[in-house]
Structure 1
Amino acid sequence: MSTAIAVHIAAATLSVILGTAVLLTDKGTPRHKWLGRLWVAAMFATTLSSFDIRELNPGHFSWVHGLSLLTFVSLGRAIWAIRQGNVHGHQLAMRGSFIGLVLAGIAAVATPHRLLNIVVTGWIA
């Protein structure tokens, strides 16, 4: 496993754990804000590390990297929204980012030939 993939999997796993914790905490509390900041940092690490992974289109970016850009923009939008006092916009962008994270993880596990699929299923098709 390459270093980029290991960093990406570790950051994504941490993002799922922290994102779940953020969703379960009371909104607006110091704990929510602290966990949220950690989650955003983990998400940025997940997003940035994805650009070093180019197995789908060797040597080039693929459509998956477009989703990484979308996540980067969504996180920025969420931060901007809450700083403007737009709680609803913040919630929408954060929930969308978290749902995208979970769906990407499910897709990585369900797609044959991807490392997570091989690790979880043990199948090398």
Structure 2
Amino acid sequence: MSLEPLLVASPIIQIHALAGMAAFAIGGVTLFLPKGNDRHRGLGRAWVALMVVVAASSFLIWEIRMLGPFSPIHLVSVFTLYALYKGVGHARAGRIGAHRRTMQSLYVVALAVTGIFTLAPGRIMNQVVFGPGAGPSLGSLVVAGGLVLAAGGWLILKPRRRRAGAVTRGLTKP
């Protein structure tokens, strides 16, 4: 592991990476701490601010060009900004279930899944984590394993539909 590839990268990539790592850490902590108190709100505000930095800075990174200077990852950035807006709106309106689902999904999709792709061969974070001589197979293996874990996380977090006639809070539906 060496920070050298990140330290010689452009300042926008450094800002993007550092904000992403901080958001990953703060978001992970926030998911497991008690909710609804001042600490949760403070960490949540910091997380939202970091996520805005991550998403906004991505529009200035054009290393993978597919549509002009942009790539499909920029669609994730648009989704992230919109989901942050909706998630904060849900919390302010008291729709806590919708807020929780939005923020959990955002954490998984915008941080965990895209973070996994930063470990792909040829990317700066692959060089940071695995070193310059690690070869493509290790990074590819980590990306594949991470995607499997992300899919498992999505299956756990996705809302489940109730069957007709299911018992709810000890009462049956009429």
Matched, 1:25 2:33: yes
- Structure with the higher fraction of residues in helix conformation: 1
Report what 1:106 is aligned to.
116
Higher relative contact order (CA 8 A, sep 6+): 2
Q: Structure 2 counterpart of 1:78, which letter?
A: G
Q: Percent of aligned positions with the same letter in both sequences?
A: 34
Q: Any residues of structure 2 matched to 1:55-74 within 5 Å, and which? A: 55-57=63-65, 60-74=69-83
Taking structure 2 as the reference length, what is the TM-score of the superposition? 0.68
> What secondary structure sits across from 1:48 in the alignment?
helix
Q: Structure 1 counterpart of 2:93, which letter?
A: Q
1:120 and 1:17 map into 2 onto residues whose CA distance is 17
Which sections of structure 1, spanning at least 5 residues, go unmatched? none
Deviations 1:99-120 (A, max 9, x none): 12111111111x1111111221
Report what 1:86 is aligned to.
95
Report what 1:12 is aligned to.
20
1:17 and 1:120 map into 2 onto residues whose CA distance is 17
Q: Structure 2 counterpart of 1:115, which letter?
A: I
Taking structure 1 as the reference length, what is the TM-score of the superposition? 0.93
1:82 and 1:66 map into 2 onto residues whose CA distance is 24
* Aligned structure 1 segments of 4 or more residues deviating by more than 6 angstroms: none
Which residue of 75, 78, 101 maps to 2:84?
75
> What secondary structure sits across from 2:118 in the alignment?
helix
1:57 and 1:3 map into 2 onto residues whose CA distance is 19
> What secondary structure sits across from 1:49 in the alignment?
helix
> What secondary structure sits across from 1:62 in the alignment?
coil
Q: Considering only aligned residues, what root-mean-square deviation do their CA atoms show, in Å? A: 1.4
